Structure 1
């Protein structure tokens, strides 16, 4: 069992590290190019491996709250990655049984994180774990609920494009956050206030969210200008 756990942990760390490196390539390469697509697939395979190994490590080892939380983040990151990739395959809004099942499953995970965070809030008061469980549980539920609604509505023009880079970007942010919170606290002094740990968890999501929102505005303006030019001509 010890050998298996070591193998799972090494695989989890290695694929997470590769995902962080390879995930930068699609961001800065030409959209739709061979490099963009190939690097994106490598990132997706890495994130699948990260999620599976996280679930196994959580289930095969004694309960620890941080381990449980990191597993929830792995599920969240995988869901964003998978739905971002599926957006390029479902440009007209088609959804398979796998898409629907994954959405329902992720809704349950998000609700469980919110519920557990609320329970911790009652038990411990306003502290690190209740805040991050509730915060990321809310994010997980929000994205899954969006997909639940979209599966019952007509597909928007170019909606798949925005979903693709929003979800892939969100997945990268979640993966970066998990890596940061695992390693950065080791560099902080022993008497660092508790709020610094909370900031490490939340700051990447806030900053990354602003960058993604800026990108959305850029491409919406670009598509609007293109449509306007075609209409005039």
Structure 2
């Protein structure tokens, strides 16, 4: 088992490095162009490998940090790509796998909550603040996606593009967070946890404004906008 976990860890680190590099490239390259598409695909698959190996490492070792970050980043990666699919083909419906993603997201939120409640929240110090922040973000995202699924056909193409960028950037923030937490010990601990969110949130806001969708567009069922 130990050798298996060591192998998973090596794969996890390699995928993490690839995700950071390809993620930066995807941000820099112009959206819709070859460079962005290639780096985006590399980023997507690297992130999925990170998620799979994170679960494989976290569950046997009881590492709640890795489980939470792995679930958070994997959910955003999967739904980020899913929103791109919805944009490209508005005939797609919110289906079985979308609900599987949401249920899995709730599981990765509930398990650490039960664990911390059992061991005592006072024993985890500054990590409790971090968990509450990320937990509320993930819970809000999951509930929001359930609402989105019920009225999927009412959203224009530009809105799906906005969501695609936001989710992929969110997953990138989670990856940067994991990298910092493992390699940079801060006092208080939540500085390393929240710094990537503070740094990259303005980038998300920039793209949200760039591909902003008006309220009148959201009410329309016509295809609006371009990549």
Q: Deviations over 1:15-52 (max 9, x none)?
A: 00110001111111121122211211111111111111
* C-alpha contact 2:121 2:128 (8 A) present in aligned 1: no
* Corresponding residue number in structure 1 for 2:107: 108
* Corresponding residue number in structure 1 for 2:134: 136
TM-score (norm: length of structure 2) = 0.83
Distance 1:120 1:204, change over 3 A: farther
Which of 66, 71, 96 matches 2:67?
71
The answer for unaligned runs of 5 or more in structure 2 is 217-227
Q: Deviations over 1:134-179 (max 9, x none)?
A: 2111111121111111001143112211011000000001100100
Q: What secondary structure sits across from 1:18 in the alignment?
A: helix
Q: Deviations over 1:107-142 (max 9, x none)?
A: 33234445555x379641793121112211111112
Q: Deviations over 1:77-102 (max 9, x none)?
A: 11111111111111226223111211
Once superposed, what is the RMSD of the aligned Cα atoms?
2.4
Please say if 1:182 is aligned against 2:178. Answer: no
The answer for unaligned runs of 5 or more in structure 1 is 225-233
Larger Rg: 1
The runs of at least 4 consecutive aligned structure 1 residues that moved more than 6 Å come to none
* Corresponding residue number in structure 1 for 2:17: 17
Q: Work out the number of aligned pairs and report it.
A: 210
* Corresponding residue number in structure 2 for 1:95: 94
Q: Which has the higher contact order (CA 8 A, sep 6+)?
A: 2
* C-alpha contact 2:47 2:73 (8 A) present in aligned 1: yes
Q: What secondary structure sits across from 2:211 in the alignment?
A: helix
* Corresponding residue number in structure 1 for 2:149: 151
Q: Which moved more, 1:101-110 or 1:161-170?
A: 101-110
